[in-house]
Structure 1
Amino acid sequence: MLHLVTGGARSGKSRYAQEQALSLSTQPVYVATAKVWDEDFAQRIQRHKAERGAAWINYEEELYVSRLPLDGQTVVIDCVTLWLTNFFALHAYDMDKTLSAIQEEIRVLQQKAGVFIIVTNEIGMGVHAETAVGRRFTDLQGWVNQYIARMADTVVLMVAGIPVVIKGEA
């Protein structure tokens, strides 16, 4: 099963995804895709781990999530935007290579047994990016979101903390 949870910044996406995972498993898996950029961000990550508590199995993987031991698990992958950023940097901002790499990761994950709840952002609904690379990234994010949404069993758009089901049944 593949579920996509999307929305704007601070819309409640991660909280909702975690609640869904906990309703399905007593020991869900949380995959953080963020790269630790500085000490402040490292402290934020530690705070989030502590908030999730001991019930969670935690992994940090910036690129190759599909290589983690996730078969048969209930998994929250948070988030596509940071994951995509890592691939974009790895592939020197080449859109085609980046898109291909992350689509392959998603395709492999979809073939695994388990429940995958993927969190993403709707960055294209916000302010128009000022730079050319920012506009290219916004396009990439939109294409990746569409790719995952096509394969997903359910898609939930979070609006002000309220889940709005736009595909399937929550």
Structure 2
Amino acid sequence: MITLIIGGSGSGKSEYAENMITSRSKGRCIYIATMKPWDEECEKRIQRHRLMRAEKGFETVECYRDLKEVHFSQQEAVLEVLLECMSNLVSNELFGLLEQGEVLLTPHEAVTEILEGISRIHLQTGNLTIVTNEVFSDGDSYSIQTNEYREALARINQEIARISDRVIEVTAGIPIIVKGIN
């Protein structure tokens, strides 16, 4: 089953996703974290989040780019995977600080690569939950790069919603079922 959870910044979508998974899990819970530690403040935030997730029983897998390279062995019996957050992953693929030898993707390439990664992970797990941001309700005057990012994220969100069994929008901490059943 694929569940897409979407909401604005600070909407409570991540906490909702974590609680949903931990309340139904009967096995391992894997948290694919996509926030890259850009600076010391970001690294501290990531460490704090890792501790909070560990208390909830999540094992963290860091994946800043190349989602299709994430693999779980069949022996691991991964039942629940939470990918948090799609908007970070798209940003990293398009604009990330490059390590030696890395190449940034075009918006079209990013969409293709990320969707392939989602497909591969879904084949390895019973339940895949994806958290993403709704970044389309605010202003409409942005740079070319920002518009390319928004368009890539929109295409990914739309395709994930299409293939998802459930789509849930979280607003002010309140989940609204958009597709599927509760």
Q: Same fold (TM over 0.5)?
A: yes
How far 1:91 moved relative to its partner?
5.3
Distance (whole Å) between structure 2 residues aligned to residue 57 and residue 139 of structure 1: 31
Q: What are the equivalent positions in structure 2 for 1:138-149 lying under 5 Å apart?
A: 138-149=150-161
1:130 to 133, 136, 142: 142
Distance (whole Å) between structure 2 residues aligned to residue 16 and residue 75 of structure 1: 14
Q: Report the AA paired with residue 23 of structure 1.
A: S
8 A contact 1:24–1:74 mirrored in 2:
no
8 A contact 1:91–1:97 mirrored in 2:
no
Distance (whole Å) between structure 1 residues aligned to residue 166 and residue 33 of structure 2: 21
Q: What are the equivalent positions in structure 2 for 1:49-88 lying under 5 Å apart?
A: 49-54=50-55, 55-66=57-68, 67-69=70-72, 72-88=78-94
Q: Secondary structure at the match of 1:35?
A: coil
Distance (whole Å) between structure 2 residues aligned to residue 50 and residue 147 of structure 1: 32
Change (3 A) 1:91 1:151: farther
CA deviation vs aligned residue, 1:56-99 (integer Å, no higher than 9, x gap):
21111112334232763211110000111122236545221111
Distance (whole Å) between structure 1 residues aligned to residue 122 and residue 58 of structure 2: 21
Match of 2:49 in 1: 48
8 A contact 2:66–2:117 mirrored in 1:
yes
Change (3 A) 1:91 1:144: farther
Match of 2:9 in 1: 9
Q: Report the AA paired with residue 75 of structure 1.
A: V
Distance (whole Å) between structure 1 residues aligned to residue 113 and residue 141 of structure 2: 23
8 A contact 1:6–1:156 mirrored in 2:
yes
Q: Report the AA paired with residue 68 of structure 1.
A: H
